[in-house]
Amino acid sequence: MAERNSQELAKARKKLIGDIMQDTLHGKHIYLLGSAEFGPTNEPIMVKSTVGVYNKFGKHGTLIDAFHALKYASKNNIVYLVKTTGEHANAYLNVNIQDGEIIENGFTLTSSESNEAFNDIQILVDLTGLTIMFPEDFNMKSLKYEYKKYPTMDKLASAINKDTKNKRSYVYAYYSVDPSVPTENAFFVCNPTMVSMYGGQCGLEYSKNLLYNCLNRTYEMLESHEIDIIIPVDAFMDDIYPDDSEGTPHLYNKTYYHSTKDYLTEDFTGKQLSFMDQLLQFCIRQLNFGLVTTGIIGYNSSYKYWSKYLGESDDIAKMYKACYEYNLSCCSNPFYAFLISVVAGDIEYNRGTIIDNGYLAYAALCANTIITSGTTNIPISDSLSLYHEFTEPVLKDLADTGIVTFRHSPLYDTPVVYDGITASPEHENLKLYCNVRMIQMCMSYINRLFQFYVGLNIVTLIKEEIVTTDLRNILEALSTKGIITEYDFNIIPYYAKGEIKIYLNLKTCYMVKSVQLCTVIDVEFEEEE
């Protein structure tokens, strides 16, 4: 290995170990997926304050409501908002390359945010340049891009994009032709004089099926991102359609059908759609990248839908359990349900002014609880209260099922978590949420180390035992920190594929036996002389 690489690797190793020893043992990063009035679709944006949220996303939408709920529960979270619904406005220009050859839609102008207001942006096409014209209520001057100043496609697009990045515009430009194509005579001969942007939608109104489709796009975009906790807002367990199939229907059947609710239906194959399964599949794909992302999902507010319909709290609990079991039966791979936490029971936020499911309050608690500690019997916030309480037998039954609930603690005089568990029905070691989080932290540091190996020679990495030494040092540091108590690993190189597979056995202080994980390093294969 080159001296430069060796030095950089040593520096990276030293920094990683230092980061481990200084880690505060919190996984504060929460990703909220939902709707908003403004802002870009499918772009994670970190927000710190209500003012920042309003400036970027407007004042309406499930993202805004969810952000408020998180802040009512705790002000210490690091929150990323991802607008899931909505469409950006677009304008498509044909491009005259040369000698009359026209490339249809070779130059695209796209609004920086998704909202109907951007449909009013117009593009003036003349012999001298392109002019972007904004509606009067935008309070923004028109911008003209002259061909003589930006003589090629790449220069024109770069100028437009620079203005938008500097908040002088709301339009990004993309081209699908050769970047060196001259702009002069490229547009005027093959486009209308005035072109309007179209297709923009804010996405505030949607069906559950549309939300499901939008979430598919968002999850795909977020793959391989390092995410601690992810929450699809307004995507609930009881949005799954009650099973009324012939034969012996599941307990969650027409008994729990609510005529005012919009439900998920089936996909084109006839499979019942489930937000729980969708979230779980994303978390499984994250695991394939060597990342442990935990999802949190709740139920529709019982205050809004179920209290008058079902009556007593214990009857609502029966619905929670039946719905959970039905969702689990619809999951493609329920074995990995330890990657999900299902939260039931309504919480009064902001001193009782808002009543909603407690999944956001639980997420705030998880993000602010030290990783090596469980969430069982931990107060969620002294500003929150229970809308209704379950009896002790019901609380235990729901916990045994795999559902997180809350009870009032006389000791703390505030709601606490009854049992900090995951939705796993069978994985004993990962039933406790704190175990999942400790494994999550281990994999995060391991993958940070492995990122440095990408592109390096696999033969050198194996022959000089670089991976073995570095991995052992990282695991030893994690052990010293108290994250794991036992570890073992097996390194298998696949020279022809240019990859190294690492099989890990990790055990925390709360585990009876270790859990097995696998991660892959993409490297290069070069035979040594």
Tell me if 277 sits within 8 A of 310, measured CB to CB: no
Residue-level pLDDT at 60: 97
Residue-level pLDDT at 249: 62
Tell me the C-alpha distance between 215 and 218, whole Å: 5
Residue-level pLDDT at 1: 47
Residue 247 pLDDT > 60, yes or no? no
Residue-level pLDDT at 521: 82
Closest listed residue to residue 132, CA positions, set 169, 81, 104, 179: 169
Closest listed residue to residue 297, CA positions, set 330, 337, 244, 333: 337
Residue 525 pLDDT > 70, yes or no? no
Q: Minimum mean pLDDT among 147-151, 161-165, 355-359: which range?
A: 355-359
pLDDT tier, 169 (very low <50, low <70, confident <90, very high otherwise): very high
Highest mean pLDDT of the ranges 72-76, 139-143, 239-243? 139-143
Tell me the C-alpha distance between 42 and 145, whole Å: 29
Residue-level pLDDT at 507: 93
Residue 96 pLDDT > 90, yes or no? yes
User: 40: which 2 tokens?
Assistant: 């870009």
Mean pLDDT score, 450-465: 84
Which ranges of 74-230 would DSSP assign to H, the alpha helix?
Answer: 153-165, 208-222
Q: Residue 414: which residues within 8 A CB-CB, separation 6 or more?
A: 379, 380, 381, 382, 384, 385, 408
Residue-level pLDDT at 529: 45
Residue 198 pLDDT > 90, yes or no? yes
> Which comes out higher in pLDDT, residue 4 or 310?
310
Residue 526 pLDDT > 70, yes or no? no
**Is residue 20 classed exposed, middle or buried when 0-12, 13-18 and 19+ CB atoms within 10 A define those classes?**
buried
Q: Position of tokens 């992302």?
A: 293
Residue-level pLDDT at 485: 94
Residue 98 pLDDT > 80, yes or no? no
Residue 16 pLDDT > 80, yes or no? yes
pLDDT tier, 279 (very low <50, low <70, confident <90, very high otherwise): very high
Mean pLDDT score, 415-443: 88
Computed over its alpha carbons, how large is the radius of gyration of the chain?
Answer: 27
Residue 210 pLDDT > 80, yes or no? yes
Residue-level pLDDT at 308: 66
Query: b/e per residue, 264-273, with b = 16+ CB within 10 A?
Result: beeeeeeebb
pLDDT in tens, 38-65: 999 999 999 999 999 999 999 999 999 9
Tell me the C-alpha distance between 426 and 428, whole Å: 6
Residue-level pLDDT at 403: 97
Residue 398 pLDDT > 70, yes or no? yes
pLDDT in tens, 212-239: 999 999 999 999 998 999 999 999 999 9
Residue 179 pLDDT > 70, yes or no? yes
pLDDT tier, 82 (very low <50, low <70, confident <90, very high otherwise): very high
Residue-level pLDDT at 400: 92
Q: Residue 179: which residues within 8 A CB-CB, separation 6 or more?
A: 152, 153, 154
**Is residue 275 classed exposed, middle or buried when 0-12, 13-18 and 19+ CB atoms within 10 A define those classes?**
buried
**Could you give the domains of the chain?**
3-24+453-522 (3.10.450), 90-196 (no CATH), 208-434 (no CATH)
Residue-level pLDDT at 77: 83
pLDDT in tens, 382-391: 788 998 789 9
SS3 53: helix
pLDDT tier, 527 (very low <50, low <70, confident <90, very high otherwise): low
Closest listed residue to residue 295, CA positions, set 343, 374, 230: 230
Residue-level pLDDT at 309: 67
In the chain, pLDDT over 90 holds for what percent of residues? Answer: 61
Please provide the average confidence, as pLDDT, over all residues in the chain: 90
pLDDT tier, 347 (very low <50, low <70, confident <90, very high otherwise): very high
**Is residue 247 classed exposed, middle or buried when 0-12, 13-18 and 19+ CB atoms within 10 A define those classes?**
exposed
pLDDT tier, 160 (very low <50, low <70, confident <90, very high otherwise): very high
Tell me the C-alpha distance between 96 and 305, whole Å: 58
Mean pLDDT score, 127-154: 96
Residue 462 pLDDT > 80, yes or no? yes
Mean pLDDT score, 169-189: 96
Q: What share of the chain is helix, strand, coil (3-state, %, to 5)?
A: 35, 25, 40
Residue-level pLDDT at 24: 79
Tell me the C-alpha distance between 281 and 227, whole Å: 15
Which ranges of 402-511 would DSSP assign to H, the alpha helix?
Answer: 433-451, 458-463, 466-480
